[in-house]
């Protein structure tokens, strides 16, 4: 309960921030964007993991305000990056409940003056689990805005494959558990190979997550994975440490 009250106050107290993790283009091995990851610095607990506070935010409805704050903040920040850089923002299933998500995204894009094609929205299977008309219609509205939609944590859910038929995703993000196991045996390699060729045949980009070693990079590059993310290229860090001049926040 105290935790919930603290989270409720966290935005006003300026304890919420966004860290950015680089996304790399495999072919050029250069940064082509960042994923925005929410961070909470609690006055006494220190850094609280999103894995801990996001479920609480979802249960209490606070995720709507937090999610909108991150969206607006990340887009403002991205306005100061090179023009071709993308910005990825994670969405919770709970944010799809109302009918206001696409309007919020449109408004945040306009406020930041960012072209919609630079925004990647990451959703997990949980968004499609309910598969309500409402959710699908919101996804199509977002797509019509020109925003790109990525399926996050692909392969870890129950029916990742069937969800690929429900909606024309732009990107498949291969869960880091598969990347971690690449060297431990032929199984993970086969799964990753399958996901990459599936993505290619569906005209989708494939982003491997959790790339930590040169061996993983070489393997994924050989398999045709189009993008990568992971500690090999950079950990999530505050905008002030990204090294771009003219950050977008006023």
Which residues bind to Mn ion, rule: CB under 5 A? Answer: 90, 122, 152
DSSP 3-state assignment of 164?
helix
DSSP H helical segments within the chain, as ranges? Answer: 2-10, 50-60, 63-78, 101-112, 125-130, 133-145, 160-166, 176-180, 186-201, 214-223
Q: How far apart are CA 217 and CA 200, in angstroms?
A: 18
Shortest separation between residue 245's beta carbon and ligand G, angstroms: 25
Binding mask 210-229 for ligand G (x = CB under 6 A): xxx----------------x
Among 35, 58, 64, 152, binds Na ion (CB under 5 A): 152
Q: Which of 236, 237, 244, 247 binds ligand G (CB under 6 A)?
A: 236
Specify the residue, 180 or 245, whose C-beta has the smaller distance to ligand G.
Answer: 180
CA 226 remoteness from chain centre: 16
Residue 50 contacts ligand G per CB under 6 A: yes
Our CB check for Na ion shows the closer of 68 and 125 to be 125
> Which tokens go with 95?
């944010």
Contact 149, 109 (CB under 8 A): no
Binding of Na ion at residue 153 (CB under 5 A)? yes
Q: By CB under 6 A, what part of segment 153-182 binds ligand G?
A: 153, 176
Q: Helix or strand or coil: residue 199?
A: helix
Candidate segments 2-10, 23-31, 137-145, 230-238, binder of ligand G by CB under 6 A: 230-238
């Amino acid at each position: 309960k105290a935790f919930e009250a603290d989270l409720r106050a966290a935005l006003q107290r300026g304890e919420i921030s966004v860290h950015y993790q680089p996304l790399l283009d495999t072919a050029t091995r250069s940064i082509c964007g960042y994923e925005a990851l929410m961070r909470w610095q609690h006055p006494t607990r220190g850094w609280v993991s999103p894995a801990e506070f996001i479920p609480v935010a979802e249960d209490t409805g606070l995720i709507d305000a937090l999610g909108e704050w991150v969206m607006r903040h990340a887009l403002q920040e991205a306005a100061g990056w090179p023009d071709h850089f993308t910005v990825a923002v994670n969405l919770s299933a709970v944010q799809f409940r109302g009918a206001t998500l696409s309007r919020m995204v449109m408004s945040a894009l306009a406020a930041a003056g960012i072209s919609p094609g630079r925004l990647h929205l990451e959703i997990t299977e949980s968004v499609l689990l309910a598969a309500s008309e409402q959710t699908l219609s919101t996804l199509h509205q977002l797509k019509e805005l020109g925003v790109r939609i990525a399926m996050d944590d692909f392969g870890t859910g129950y029916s990742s494959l069937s969800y690929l038929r429900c909606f024309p995703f732009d990107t498949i993000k291969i869960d880091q558990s598969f990347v971690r196991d690449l060297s431990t045996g032929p199984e993970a390699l086969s799964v990753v190979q399958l996901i990459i060729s599936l993505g290619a045949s569906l005209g989708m980009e494939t982003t491997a997550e959790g790339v930590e070693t040169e061996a993983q990079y070489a393997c994924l590059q050989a398999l045709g994975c189009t993008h990568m993310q992971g500690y090999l290229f950079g950990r999530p860090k505050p905008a002030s440490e990204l090294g771009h001049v003219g950050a977008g926040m006023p």
